[in-house]
Structure 1
Amino acid sequence: MNAPAALSHLVPEVHQREVPAVLLDALKARFGAQCSTAMAVREQHGRDESSFQVPPPAAVVFAESTQDVADAVRLAAQHDVPVIPFGVGSSLEGHLLAVQGGISIDVARMNKVLAINAEDLTVTVQPGVTRKQLNDEIKSTGLFFPIDPGADASIGGMAATRASGTNAVRYGTMRENVLALEVVTASGETIRTGTRAKKSSAGYDLTRLFVGSEGTLGVITEVTLRIYPIPEAISAAICSFPSIEAAVRTTIQVIQLGVPIARVELIDHNTVRMVNAHSKLGLREEPMLLMEFHGSPTGVQEQAETVQEIAAEHGGNAFEWAKTPEERTRLWTARHNSYFAAVQSRPGCKVISTDTCVPISRLADCLLDSVSEADASGIPYFLVGHVGDGNFHFGYLLDPAQPKEREIAEALNHKLVARALELEGTCTGEHGVGLHKMGFLVDEAGAGAVDMMRTIKRALDPRNIMNPGKIFAL
């Protein structure tokens, strides 16, 4: 791996393209109040949860329909102006930043659940629907959508970044759960990919091409998803361990034995302390696994007993059950708020979040060495992980007034990714490449594969207007 790969994005390359006044006039004429050039609105759409600072887009279009998206893209294409899709702004890797200028298309108003086909276990939604909204609207059918990245992200954004989250160990990622898409292409044409059928052998799999493309090939305007019956029984538990290694070894054994656990999240002692302070909890400040089991009452009991026995073999103690839905929700809310708890623990800090994923058998090798390096660095951090599928996140908490801290954190991330790739893992398990991992993508996939991606990009977006400057450079 080339040493500069991690440090090259301390400051992203910014090459602003001209956004001519004639385009802004055309957008205002077409969209009226749905188009804004106000600085406050532009700045809101020119930042995400990453630590990068980039000038905002020149204008924001608030799309309310697929036709709105198509018209905005078509107008931008006439002037070779970049288009950046925007959902709720929860990206961690700079996906939303206007590094080449352009316009932002906000799809938050496209927030309708279009069709619920309970008998087929599918649902079709507009891209601005959020995961919590979706589950609220379908719960009366006895069904739910399991992909849970933590933030109340939009479904369009989740598809674009191939999101996963806490339930992926049981239900998979967006890759497995998106059946069909409607997409506005770089020319402003609207196409459909896939069907509601569970499988197909018809032609190229364009759905999988757009899932994970991070807005660089088109704007997603409709998504058809798999949904699942709400389990008859759900049980959650926490278990503390004497060390991170003990918690990780427990997880590896649980997965290798084939226990169909729905969620298994690692929280290190730093993060437990932060969560206790933020969420007013009294959890033991030791490495912890937060687990959830789905199935029949008998099946859930069997799963939980098996896991409890395995945990005891590795020194797990204080195995506690969340006995009510309210207790379970409180625990998972605290877990999902760990990012905000960490930020609160160092007011004014910026966060660099890592996102490696390795084969489950190599999890301990990757994670334990990385913990030792983080401890030795002196940089405050938190550690959480969807360890059931080998995915974990360090969040390094940086003082923005201390550039040296950022250099140290980027160096830690570089070592971590190098280690993950050596263990046949990936630089990003769920956050996507965006700006931050462009160098790592070449190390992981190889120059030939990245060149093939560029060829696809050029074929589908010859003017390079769809979220340019992300994933790889052209």
Structure 2
Amino acid sequence: MIAPDSPAAHQAPADVPPALLEALARRFGARCSTVASVREQHGRDESAFTHTPLPAAVVFAESTADVVDAVRLAAAHRTPVIPFGAGTSLEGHLLPVRGGISLDLGRMTRILAVHAEDMTITVQPGVVRTAVNRALEGRGLFFPVDPGADATIGGMCATRASGTNAVRYGTMRENVLALEVVTARGEVIRTGTRARKSSAGYDLTRLMVGSEGTLGVITEVTLRLHPLPEAVSAATCSFPAIEPAIRTAMAIVQLGIPIARCEFLDAQGVRMVNVHSRLSLPEQPLLLMEFHGSAHEVEEQARTVQALAAEHGGEAFAWATSPEERARLWTARHNAYFAALHTNPGRRVISTDTCLPISRLADCLVASAAEAEASGLPHYLLGHVGDGNFHFGYLVRPGNEDDWRTAEGLNHALVRRALALGGTCSGEHGIGLHKIGFLREEAGDGAIAMMRAIKQALDPDGILNPGKIFE
């Protein structure tokens, strides 16, 4: 792992040749900016890193042709190109650690095709996930991947995002059918088709999904859609401690109950959400669940889950059946990060991200929560516990070395515990800068060497988002 104050977080940027800046200005005009405030915006994300270089320029692409020209110009000068979406990365993916050009895809927002009969949609990478579902209104379909932030589809592909619905509908890995990608040489390739399956050659789509902008720039995405459920119901249930709540979630999954969402908040997280969103949830460990299906299926699932929760000490089982009530609950859950900042003014959040086999989830969470409590550092815990993924948020004072050291120590202990229990160092945030060391521990030298070989083959000059995933 690279700590925010380590030398790797302060690498000197590569010089950007004036000839490249002049060529970009000629090609893109006002859509190539060297204004300090624009560069500053594209040199920061939601991660803990605050001292990396800024890009020398920001290019705003509006088409695949724009991306091709920007990459070709940068490649001619062997200058780094860092794809930029909504800027919501939590692991430093967007930071130009070696300088270069930030390639902003946020203006590529066209819905290119909706094939309702095939349950697919094709979009440009700057389309945000909520815009996808707005485009599907009245068609009886929806796109389920919901990481919380209103991220761009391109960014969600790059980090292999998941979120609250993954327990039933899967992650971006399962929901991306095809891509258009601009390579490091400025060539356009297509991976996959609109067909639901294929055994034709290497699976380049899965190679690009999760590659964090290091193998190509995604310029078009075809997504798998799902039928809107006939009935939807949400419920909350409080527990006396963390372990019985997690044991309930484990039982739901192990019994094969097709729950759509199964989220967890610890007592601190509930308290923060109550203040920020003006709710009155019991300030105890909480499961927030959602059921999809026919009216009969939803009722049956909910009865079974309520009985399971009661067996583990769950109480205050409360229903939210109207769309307004459900939206209020899920908005509050998605705003937990901002709730933590609101209730701890002046602090920043260092967010962790690990995922475990469901059978080991309780062991890891209970031990890690005890460590966090003993540290004295303000924190909260939330998780997509239906698929074994969870996040601690450690609240640190900027510039306070003791806070940073404590938070990083807790994160180290958490990730190593997850790896020892058969889990992964990142369930959905990706590697970026922050988890480079842990990827080596998880994958091993042989797998890292293979990843490096792929990178070298596809990006021999190392211009695509350098310094991420590998040292």
Q: TM-score range by the shorter chain?
A: over 0.9
Mapped to 2, the partners of 1:385 and 1:136 lie a distance apart of 27
Q: Which of 17, 20, 28 is the matching residue for 2:17? A: 20
Mapped to 2, the partners of 1:331 and 1:253 lie a distance apart of 23
- Tell me, what secondary structure is at the counterpart of 2:137? helix
Mapped to 1, the partners of 2:329 and 2:166 lie a distance apart of 18
Mapped to 1, the partners of 2:380 and 2:62 lie a distance apart of 39
Mapped to 2, the partners of 1:244 and 1:334 lie a distance apart of 20
Amino acid at match of 1:415: A
Deviations 1:305-338 (A, max 9, x none): 0000000001111100012000000000000000
1:382 positional shift: 1.1
Q: How does 1:370-409 map to 2 (within 5 A)?
A: 370-409=368-407
Q: Which of 36, 39, 49 is the matching residue for 1:42? A: 39
Mapped to 2, the partners of 1:112 and 1:230 lie a distance apart of 23
| Equivalent residue number for residue 352 of structure 2 | 354
1:107 positional shift: 0.6
Is the 8 Å Cα contact of residues 53 and 98 (structure 2) preserved in structure 1?
no
Q: Which of 139, 150, 153 is the matching residue for 1:152? A: 150
| Equivalent residue number for residue 139 of structure 2 | 141
Mapped to 2, the partners of 1:7 and 1:451 lie a distance apart of 23
| Equivalent residue number for residue 132 of structure 1 | 130
Q: Does 2:161 match 1:163?
A: yes
Mapped to 2, the partners of 1:400 and 1:233 lie a distance apart of 46
| Equivalent residue number for residue 341 of structure 1 | 339
Is the 8 Å Cα contact of residues 382 and 396 (structure 1) preserved in structure 2?
yes
Q: How does 1:284-295 map to 2 (within 5 A)?
A: 284-295=282-293
Mapped to 1, the partners of 2:115 and 2:14 lie a distance apart of 44
Amino acid at match of 2:29: G
| Equivalent residue number for residue 90 of structure 1 | 88
| Equivalent residue number for residue 208 of structure 1 | 206
Deviations 1:176-229 (A, max 9, x none): 110000000000001000000011111110000000000000100000000011
Deviations 1:88-121 (A, max 9, x none): 1000000000000000111111001100001001
- Tell me, what secondary structure is at the counterpart of 2:416? helix
Is the 8 Å Cα contact of residues 6 and 414 (structure 1) preserved in structure 2?
no
* Structure-2-length-normalised TM-score: 0.98
Is the 8 Å Cα contact of residues 4 and 49 (structure 2) preserved in structure 1?
no
- Tell me, what secondary structure is at the counterpart of 2:355? coil
Q: Does 2:414 match 1:412?
A: no
Is the 8 Å Cα contact of residues 80 and 463 (structure 1) preserved in structure 2?
yes
1:13 positional shift: 4.5
| Equivalent residue number for residue 66 of structure 1 | 64
| Equivalent residue number for residue 172 of structure 1 | 170
1:343 positional shift: 1.0
- Which runs of 4 or more aligned residues in structure 1 lie more than 4 Å from their structure 2 counterparts after TM superposition? 5-11
Deviations 1:108-162 (A, max 9, x none): 1100110000100111000000000110111221100000000000000000000
Is the 8 Å Cα contact of residues 6 and 413 (structure 1) preserved in structure 2?
no
Q: How does 1:218-257 map to 2 (within 5 A)?
A: 218-257=216-255
Is the 8 Å Cα contact of residues 6 and 411 (structure 1) preserved in structure 2?
no
Is the 8 Å Cα contact of residues 86 and 107 (structure 1) preserved in structure 2?
yes
Q: Which of 113, 116, 120 is the matching residue for 1:115? A: 113
Mapped to 2, the partners of 1:217 and 1:99 lie a distance apart of 17
Mapped to 1, the partners of 2:406 and 2:89 lie a distance apart of 23
1:49 positional shift: 0.3
Q: Which runs of 5+ in 1 are unaligned?
A: none
* Structure-1-length-normalised TM-score: 0.98
- Tell me, what secondary structure is at the counterpart of 1:170? helix
| Equivalent residue number for residue 436 of structure 1 | 434
Is the 8 Å Cα contact of residues 6 and 440 (structure 1) preserved in structure 2?
no
Aligned pair in 2 of structure 1 residues 19, 137: CA closer, same or farther (>3 Å)?
Answer: same
| Equivalent residue number for residue 450 of structure 2 | 452
Deviations 1:223-276 (A, max 9, x none): 000001110000000001111111001001111000000000000000111001
| Equivalent residue number for residue 326 of structure 1 | 324
- Using the TM superposition, name which of 299-308 and 133-142 deviates more: 133-142
Amino acid at match of 1:22: A
Mapped to 2, the partners of 1:321 and 1:95 lie a distance apart of 39
Same amino acid, percent of matched pairs: 69
Amino acid at match of 1:151: A
Q: Which of 276, 279, 286 is the matching residue for 1:278? A: 276
- Tell me, what secondary structure is at the counterpart of 2:236? strand
Mapped to 1, the partners of 2:393 and 2:2 lie a distance apart of 16
- Tell me, what secondary structure is at the counterpart of 2:138? helix
1:7 positional shift: 4.7
Amino acid at match of 1:283: L
Is the 8 Å Cα contact of residues 7 and 411 (structure 1) preserved in structure 2?
no
- Tell me, what secondary structure is at the counterpart of 1:56? coil
Q: What is the aligned-residue RMSD (CA, Å)?
A: 0.9
1:350 positional shift: 1.7
- Tell me, what secondary structure is at the counterpart of 1:88? coil
Mapped to 1, the partners of 2:246 and 2:102 lie a distance apart of 42
Mapped to 1, the partners of 2:54 and 2:220 lie a distance apart of 26
Is the 8 Å Cα contact of residues 10 and 53 (structure 2) preserved in structure 1?
no
Amino acid at match of 2:275: A
